[in-house]
Amino acid sequence: MRKLVVVTGGTKGIGRAILEKFASTGWDVATCSRKQNELDELKADLEEKYGITALVKVADMAVKAEVQAFTEYLVQLRRQVDVLVNNAGYFIPGQVTDEPEGTLESMMNSNVFSAYYATRGLIEGMKKNKSGHIFNMCSIASIKAYPNGGSYAITKFALLGFSKVLREELKESNIRVTAIMPGATLTASWEGVDLPEERFMKAEDVADAVYGAYSLSGRSVVEEMIIRPQLGDI
């Protein structure tokens, strides 16, 4: 049976690039999104292109019950999860002092709690098999506060903290944990910005970095990875 990678929020951007990377090397893939049509298109494309199986389910990862429904769907398939990429999340620019009420709660649900509950939902199988690799898609904002980062930066700092805690908890279970901290990457989050495409990183570069970190021998782990545009942060 093929290995299985689970990527939350995988129909676009970095998540899609990670699915493409693993599928291109013969992995089955699983992902979720809020839109069924996008999932159907993704499934058809990946299966036709790579001859693998793509497992998809509608889920809003900002909603605890839907995160749990997604992980329960995967558990019921009785498939070993070899890699989990907690990628779901979004960015709203603003400042803590004047951003709209509820911004922090909304992004905590999407950017942090989604990873927390997805991990809890799938970790028992990894522990049982004493194998697996968890990637948390953090951000440069996890280590550097910047103007207009607001609650997004708070949530990404929290996700890095979550990654550090998981790393310590799962060492003895032979489960690796990696925090990926990409800088500005050309995805939908940057639509409308008046900057040349060359100023951004490619989502495929982040995907290659994730796959490279996974590919190390089991004797080593990349705990944290910072990836920035060559000319620096935007």
pLDDT of the chain, 234 residues: tens digit per residue: 899 999 999 999 999 999 999 999 999 999 999 999 999 999 999 999 999 999 999 999 999 999 999 999 999 999 999 999 999 999 988 999 999 999 999 999 999 999 999 999 999 999 999 999 999 999 999 999 988 899 999 999 999 999 999 999 999 999 999 999 999 887 766 666 777 888 899 999 999 999 999 999 999 999 999 999 999 988
pLDDT attached to residue 38:
97
pLDDT attached to residue 13:
93
Q: DSSP strand E in the chain: where?
A: 4-7, 28-33, 54-58, 83-86, 133-137, 176-182, 224-227
Residue of 207, 191, 197, 199 lying closest to 228 (CA atoms): 199
Asked if residue 63 belongs to a domain, the reply is yes
- Residue 156 belongs to domain with CATH number: 3.40.50.720
**Which two structure tokens, joined as six digits, stand for 92?**
């709203």
**Which two structure tokens, joined as six digits, stand for 58?**
């509608």
Q: How far apart are CA 212 and CA 218, in angstroms?
A: 13
pLDDT attached to residue 216:
98
Asked if residue 99 belongs to a domain, the reply is yes
Q: How far apart are CA 125 and CA 40, in angstroms?
A: 27
Asked if residue 12 belongs to a domain, the reply is yes
Asked if residue 233 belongs to a domain, the reply is no
Beta bridge partners of 227: 182
pLDDT attached to residue 1:
86
Total of domains in the chain:
1
pLDDT attached to residue 92:
87
**Which two structure tokens, joined as six digits, stand for 136?**
């948390």
What average pLDDT does the chain have? 95
Asked if residue 19 belongs to a domain, the reply is yes
pLDDT attached to residue 198:
86
User: Do 5 and 214 touch, CB atoms closer than 8 A?
Assistant: no
Asked if residue 232 belongs to a domain, the reply is no
Asked if residue 53 belongs to a domain, the reply is yes
pLDDT attached to residue 122:
98
Q: How far apart are CA 155 and CA 110, in angstroms?
A: 9
Asked if residue 94 belongs to a domain, the reply is yes
pLDDT attached to residue 190:
67
pLDDT tens, 158-208? 999 999 999 999 999 999 999 999 998 877 666 667 778 888 999 999 999
pLDDT attached to residue 186:
75
pLDDT attached to residue 234:
81
Can you count the helices (H) and strands (E) in the chain? 7, 7
Residue 190 domain boundaries: 4-227
Whether the pTM exceeds 0.75: the reply is yes
pLDDT attached to residue 25:
98
